[in-house]
Amino acid sequence: MKKLLYILLLGSTIYACNDDEGALEPQMQFENIYTIVDDTTDAVKHHVYEIYEKYGIPVYFNDTIGKVLVKTDVNGQPFYRYETLDLAWNFDSYDQNFTYEYVYLTDPEQQEAMLDAIELYLENAAKPLWPFAFFVVDSARTIDRRTLRLTEWEEKYRLDNFRTITLLNGNWDWYWDDPAEVMDEMKRSYVVNKIAFFATEVARFGAISQPSWYDEYWNLTDKIENIIDDNGHKWDYTYGGGYFIYAVNDINLMELFNGPVGIGTLMNAAFAPHPERYTEEQWKALSEAAHYIAGSLGFVSYNSGDYSGSGQTPIDSDDDLRGYVKVMLETSDADFRDEWGSYPLVMEKYEIVYRILTEELGLEL
């Protein structure tokens, strides 16, 4: 399944054009080039205006977004400078090694669909997570000035820059992709990129769980106590190559399920819950056991690259941070503390992220 590609970028470049620069008279006239003017004769332009009027966010289908009258030459001809979006701005630097080429999106029906997706994002994202502008194209590629190597943005679904969210229509599978899910992912990415500015706090977050706990199966038996098999020993690799658990603390899973429970099934109780599949007693046991295992390690999510289920811990501290952001954006402060409050490592991480989200980014949780 392809995903909607989106790019966060900052700033703009200005270039000038005229045949006779030496014959210019000073006449700089600035205009608000980011102001969107309504055009009721064009459905797409009118939709763009409606978004701008409601949210104050411009949407562009071309990287040349406006022009400024600089001077008039001796023949009365205007001399303009053109403002363009520039993808070379990263969050903390300006990378002049790459240039960018686009295939513009011109199909009105697809333009309207992308505008609908943008509205969905703005409706559901807190104002601090709104970009300065949206830039929508069909496809794009980078050219490395040093090697002249071309890179098509076909598989890569995100390049993080700063101010403008750029959407690539060509990477959206309109049959499969759910706009709400794609916009939620975009929102989480925007938050993670803003959090990255707080390097000291991010480093503290990453030091809480031990490096050896990442990108592993959950059977870290030397790190978690009271996980046992049916013989009173800690669980082992058995039953045809899968990890199975018999008991956690005083929770006898063997008895409740008439056999051991696979680690993926167990951890899904914390990360992808389906209580309707179990009796009330079974679900309570699964949930408590899963939270105990994850919480003891300081995790509230599983490995984002583990597509077969919830069988592994987060890939690294960055993956862990993304997991916290996802859970915290979907859970109230009170509910999170009620669910994970008894696990010190989880709460230590939570307080770091919570302070950044609420005090630095102005979000309400």
Task: Give the pLDDT score at 27.
Answer: 46
CB within 8 Å of 25: residues ≥ 6 apart: 71, 72, 73, 74
Query: In angstroms, rounded to a whole number, what is the distance separating the alpha carbons of residues 114 and 118?
Result: 6
For CA atoms 5, 161, 68, 36, the dihedral sign is positive
Q: What is the pTM of this model?
A: 0.70
Domain boundaries, the chain: 5-177, 202-360
Task: Give the pLDDT score at 128.
Answer: 83
Q: What percent of the residues of the chain are helix, what percent strand, and what percent coil, each to the nearest 5? A: 40, 25, 35
Give the H or E element holding residue 206.
Answer: helix 199-206
The radius of gyration of the chain's CA atoms, rounded to the nearest angstrom, is: 26
Backbone angles phi, psi at 313, to 5 degrees: -75, 165
Task: Give the pLDDT score at 2.
Answer: 42
Task: Give the pLDDT score at 277.
Answer: 85
Task: Give the pLDDT score at 6.
Answer: 40
Task: Give the pLDDT score at 3.
Answer: 42
Query: In angstroms, rounded to a whole number, what is the distance separating the alpha carbons of residues 159 and 138?
Result: 15
Task: Give the pLDDT score at 334.
Answer: 95
| Helices 179-195 & 108-124 angle (0-180, nearest 10) | 60
Q: Is 193 exposed, middle or buried (0-12, 13-18, 19+ CB in 10 A)?
A: middle
Question: How does 99-138 read in b/e, with b if 16+ C-beta sit within 10 Å?
Answer: ebebeebeeeebbebbbebbbebbeebeeebbbebbbbbb
CB atoms near residue 212 (< 10 Å): 10
Consecutive sets of 10 residues in the chain, 365 residues long: mean pLDDT of each? 40 42 44 79 96 94 76 77 66 65 90 93 87 86 71 53 75 71 82 88 95 81 56 45 68 82 80 84 89 91 67 89 92 94 96 94 83
Q: What is the largest CA-CA distance in the chain?
A: 96
Task: Give the pLDDT score at 221.
Answer: 54
Backbone angles phi, psi at 133, to 5 degrees: -160, 165
The type of residue at 363 is L
Task: Give the pLDDT score at 60.
Answer: 92
Give the H or E element holding residue 110.
Answer: helix 108-124
Name residue 233's beta-bridge partners.
Answer: none
